[in-house]
Structure 1
Amino acid sequence: MILRGPSDVALVDIGLPGFDRLEVARRVRQDPAGAKVVLIALTGYGTQADRARASNAGFDAFFVKPLDPDGFEAVCKKALDAKDR
C-alpha cells in the first residue's frame, strides 16, 4: 500500500467498478505519512464533476485515459518539486 513504504507518486485508476477509488486519496491524506505523496487520478471519465470529486478527495492531478506520458512526467516533476519545499 501507499503508506507502507516510501512512496513519492501514486497513480490510481479511479474509474473501475467496486471500491471507491476516491477513498484511497482520502485515507492517504488522513495519514501524516501520506502528506508528501503525489496522488494522480487516472480514469476514463473526464467531466468537470469527475475532476472536482478527485480534487476534493485529495488528488494532486487528474488524467483521462489514455495517459499522456509527457503530461504525466511534467505533473510528477512539478508536484514533487512543490512538495519538497
Structure 2
Amino acid sequence: ESVRQSLKSITYTINGLLQYIICYCIPAQIISNQADEVATSAYFSKWYERPTKLAKTAVLMIIANGQIPATIIACGFMKINMESCL
C-alpha cells in the first residue's frame, strides 16, 4: 500500500510539472521570443527611407523598446519562461 501511494504521488507530481511546462512555460517562451524579434525586424526594415520624420521616430522607438527583454510575470514576482521552468 505504501508503494502504491508513493507511485500515485510521483505520478501526480510529474503530471503537474508537465502541465506547467506545456500550458505555461512553452507558450510564454514563444511569446517572449516573438516580442524580441519585433525590434530586430524593425531594425532590418528600411526605416531610414520612411518619408516622414514621425515614421522614422516611431520605428526608432520600437527598436529602442526592443532592447528591454519581454517577460511574462506571474503574481508580480515570478518570470514564466523555459529558464525558470527548468
Task: Give the TM-score category using the shorter length.
Answer: under 0.3
Q: Greater share of strand residues, 1 or 2?
A: 1
- Which structure's relative contact order is higher, taking Cα pairs within 8 Å and 6+ residues apart? 2
TM (norm. structure 2) is: 0.24
Q: Greater share of helix residues, 1 or 2?
A: 2
